[in-house]
């Protein structure tokens, strides 16, 4: 979620998760974005959902995908990532599997599994190699003569390296994400829709609502931590007192009664 609901509304830009998801719900924008990012043709989007939750089994770990899209025979997940690049490769793997399980019916033949694209658009370099894009490629170690094609793709973009991109459309999109500077027709469309989303009072109300919930959760955690700290401090004081009383040759029963520790704890201290 990339620290979502932690920045003031007025400071939000397209790369903030909340705004990104709202803008990408526009079918035409989403379709064009996919074509620019993946260099493929998307004729028609059949389904699009932002903040899609997938929980395949009761005890399995659920996921929330930023922008989940389907066309006739492909699935796309587009994630905006402005920090916390730990375990991106493993996250991509898990998202891939979750999308498969969520869309496969009981009698689906394996050959009918949909082609799936997991896309992370990162603000900074997720892997530290200075590349503007990192594309996963499956291959057999022993030979390149046989193509390993399991219809899965994972692509990771480093927006901070936008200037190293040769393709003009992709370069301008990544530059807009990194600098909030629109230099092409499509990036200007993204800018217009970002401003439109931020001008809608109901959008701000929704954002502020979730900010309040997050702040309440933080306050609860702080209070719980404070209470836990006080309890631990009181216990530590009782332990020190018990040690002193034991050194004065008081019986373990007397020490337990005087400090509130259990007899077992006092006996452990004496030993």
Cα 172 from chain centroid (whole Å): 24
The shares of helix, strand and coil residues in the chain, as percent rounded to the nearest 5, are 50, 15, 35
The residue to which tokens 């526009």 are assigned:
26
Determine what percent of the chain is predicted with pLDDT higher than 70: 87
CB 176, CB 14: distance < 8 Å: yes
pLDDT tens track for 142-154: 999 998 999 999 9
pTM for the model stands at 0.75
Identify whether the C-beta of residue 163 lies closer than 8 Å to the C-beta of residue 118: no
Residue 5 pLDDT more than 80?
no
Q: What does the pLDDT average to over 184-204?
A: 95
Summary mean pLDDT of the chain: 87
More confident residue, 192 or 100: 192
Indicate if the pLDDT at residue 199 is higher than 90. yes
The answer to whether the Cα torsion of 194, 197, 198, 204 is positive or negative is negative
Q: What is the mean pLDDT of residues 109-130?
A: 94
| Residues belonging to the chain | 271
Q: How far apart are CA 133 and CA 162, in angstroms?
A: 9
More confident residue, 66 or 192: 192
Q: What's the mean pLDDT in 168-183?
A: 96
Domain ranges of the chain: 9-198, 216-270
Q: Cα separation of 187 and 16, whole Å? A: 16
pLDDT tier at 2, thresholds 50, 70, 90: very low
Return d(Cα 210, Cα 192) in angstroms, integer.
Answer: 24
């Amino acid at each position: 979620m990339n620290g979502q609901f932690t920045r003031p509304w007025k400071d939000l830009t397209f790369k903030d998760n909340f705004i990104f998801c709202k803008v990408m719900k526009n079918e035409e924008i989403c379709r064009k974005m996919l074509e620019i990012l993946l260099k493929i043709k998307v004729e028609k989007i059949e389904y699009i959902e932002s903040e899609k939750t997938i929980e395949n089994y009761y005890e399995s770990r659920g996921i929330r995908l930023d922008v989940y899209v389907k066309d006739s025979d492909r699935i796309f997940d587009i994630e905006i990532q402005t920090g916390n690049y730990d375990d991106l490769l493993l996250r991509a793997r898990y998202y891939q599997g979750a999308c498969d399980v969520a869309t496969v019916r009981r009698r689906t033949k394996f050959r009918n599994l949909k082609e799936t694209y997991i896309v992370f658009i990162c603000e900074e370099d997720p892997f530290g190699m200075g590349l503007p894009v990192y594309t996963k490629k499956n291959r057999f170690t022993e030979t390149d003569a046989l193509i390993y094609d399991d219809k899965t793709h994972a692509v990771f973009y480093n927006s901070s390296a936008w200037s190293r991109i040769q393709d003009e459309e992709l370069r301008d999109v990544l530059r807009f994400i990194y600098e909030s500077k629109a230099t092409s027709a499509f990036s200007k469309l993204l800018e217009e829709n970002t401003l439109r989303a931020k001008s809608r009072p109901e959008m701000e109300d929704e954002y502020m609502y979730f900010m309040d919930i997050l702040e309440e959760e933080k306050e609860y955690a702080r209070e719980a931590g404070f209470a836990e700290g006080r309890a631990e401090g009181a216990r530590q004081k009782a332990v020190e007192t018990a040690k002193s009383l034991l050194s004065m040759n008081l019986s373990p029963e007397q020490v337990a009664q005087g400090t509130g520790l259990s007899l077992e704890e006092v006996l452990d201290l004496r030993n």
